[in-house]
Structure 1
Amino acid sequence: MLMHKNYLISIIIVTYNAEKHLGALMESLQTRINDQTEVIVIDGLSTDSTMVILHEYYKCISKVISEKDSGIYDAMNKGISMASGKYVLFLGADDRLLINLEELSMFLKDDKTIYYGDVLLSPSNKIYGGKFNTAKLINRNICHQSILFPKAVFEKYQYGKDFRLMEDYALNLKLWASKEFKFSYLEKTISVYSLMGLSSLNIDLDFKKDSLKLIFRYFGPIGVVIKLFNPIRNFFKTSKNSLS
């Protein structure tokens, strides 16, 4: 078990009955982390062989707990409370780390900057991300598997309990609007994001219902206009392409 106390990056992994994919994630970590990385696993009291698999990779795991939680974001908050790195990266049990963290570490210089890159979508093998501006964020989220949050973010904020699957989006909107932290794009593919995961296969109806309220709260009337205008713009863009 790694005992380095001056971690640069804390990787937080939330698991529950993850035996099907967990081994591939852990294999990706083994060759890409260094002694400035701690790996924290928050398990929701799995009943399959998740804990057995984690034991097989104990050399690259710094901390692990297995107990009941009230959902993904409760587990993520637990991981945050245990993290000692200057930056935090969240990965799902069915994701994989792509970038070597030695390469990434040279960019992590400012603890008031949220660094983000791209993800490789699985199984489509398409790149998702690019540089965001306000309009783009209002219409789509930055994938949290591509974000390096300074731990300082979570000294003031944590994931809420209002949305079962989209609390990460809600927090990104809040952080972007607050301007307390700068967002900086790294033209790097950070991880493989599985489209077969829970949040990809389900719709967060509460977030869908409240999204305009959130956008108005953080960006005012102009934010709502941007959100409502986007489907119209896409419709005319699609129609134009179909006539070409």
Structure 2
Amino acid sequence: MQKMTLLTASWNSAATIGDTLRSVAKQTYPEIEHIVIDGASKDDTLAVIEREGGHVAKVVSEKDKGIYDAYNKGIGYASHDIIGFINSDDFYAHDAVIADVMAAFDADPELEAVHADLVYVRQEDTGKIVRHWKSRECKEKSLSRGFIPAHPTVFLRRSVYDKVGLFNLDYRLAADYEFLLRVFHVYKIKARYLPSIWVRMRVGGATGGSLSSIKLQNDEIRRAQLLHGVHYPVSKFYIWKVIDRTLQRLRSRFVDLPSADWFR
């Protein structure tokens, strides 16, 4: 049986990381190594991990250079062949997510990546879905428009990191986009999209607070595209951004998932 490493980056996440930990503990797949990389939290994050994280294999708490630095550290600690991320604001949509991931890898030994769908939920009411990020196969036309799979739903073999490298810390808000562009556009790894919702993500985060931070993230995305030879007119890029966000909101009206406290 193949084994999975799940990495959780946290910083001052006492209010939300309990949901993350419980959703991992409830997964039906038995071979999961869960590692938490904490950025020296000043709140009760570590106390919550102590209380709710009986399954956690390793906790590292020290100052870092941000979430992408934590990701890179976590990859270094990972012991197993399949690696995924579930951050301290996120939690799995049901208890068979990892089982579904591993079934896909078991079915095709040459498969290098699996990804799926994600929903955004309200911070204060995680049962309220506000956007539905419906993914698709990673084709060049979609990649050129700024599409990339939702990072929390992307699971990769360790060999992909050996080939592609780690997260580039020069990108403060879009290092996940730049990394996944390398994965799917530059290296064109073998991937499979599964049309299923795997993750609930709370709205907010580094780009959720202001228009200036959203603009900075999109500027970094454009910089990553140019770096990797993706040329798409800036006007069309932003038009597709607006269209995609609108469709996400419309789709959210038709999502039917178990209640947000299914794992409590």
What TM-score comes out, normalization by structure 2 length? 0.77
Which residue is 1:142 aligned to? 149
Tell me how far apart the structure 2 counterparts of residues 188 and 137 of structure 1 sit (CA, whole Å).
Answer: 20
2:7–2:83 Cα contact (<8 Å) kept: yes
Give the CA deviation at 1:91.
Answer: 1.4
SS of aligned partner of 2:204: coil
Identical pairs, percent: 21
SS of aligned partner of 1:29: helix
C-alpha deviations, 1:160-218, integer Å up to 9, x for none? 11111210000111222223512321112111111122343352655533543432332
C-alpha deviations, 1:111-136, integer Å up to 9, x for none? 55211100121125132122142232
Which residue is 1:167 aligned to? 175
Tell me how far apart the structure 1 counterparts of residues 242 and 104 of structure 2 sit (CA, whole Å).
Answer: 39
Could you say which structure has the larger radius of gyration?
1
Which residue is 1:241 aligned to? none
Tell me how far apart the structure 2 counterparts of residues 56 and 118 of structure 1 sit (CA, whole Å).
Answer: 30
SS of aligned partner of 2:23: helix
Matched, 1:11 2:6: yes
Give the CA deviation at 1:58.
Answer: 3.5
Tell me how far apart the structure 2 counterparts of residues 28 and 106 of structure 1 sit (CA, whole Å).
Answer: 19
Matched, 1:89 2:84: yes
Tell me how far apart the structure 2 counterparts of residues 34 and 41 of structure 1 sit (CA, whole Å).
Answer: 19
Total equivalences in the alignment: 229
Matched, 1:193 2:190: no
SS of aligned partner of 1:26: helix
1:128 pairs with one of 133, 142, 150: 133
Structure 1 unaligned runs (5+)? 1-5, 239-244
2:118–2:132 Cα contact (<8 Å) kept: yes
SS of aligned partner of 2:193: strand
Matches within 5 A, 1:1-244: 8-99=3-94, 100=96, 101-109=98-106, 110=109, 112-123=111-122, 125=129, 126-132=131-137, 133-138=139-144, 139-156=146-163, 157-201=165-209, 203=213, 207-220=217-230, 223-225=231-233, 228-231=235-238
One-letter amino acid of the counterpart of residue 122, structure 1: V
2:207–2:217 Cα contact (<8 Å) kept: no
Give the CA deviation at 1:33.
Answer: 4.9
Give the CA deviation at 1:29.
Answer: 1.5
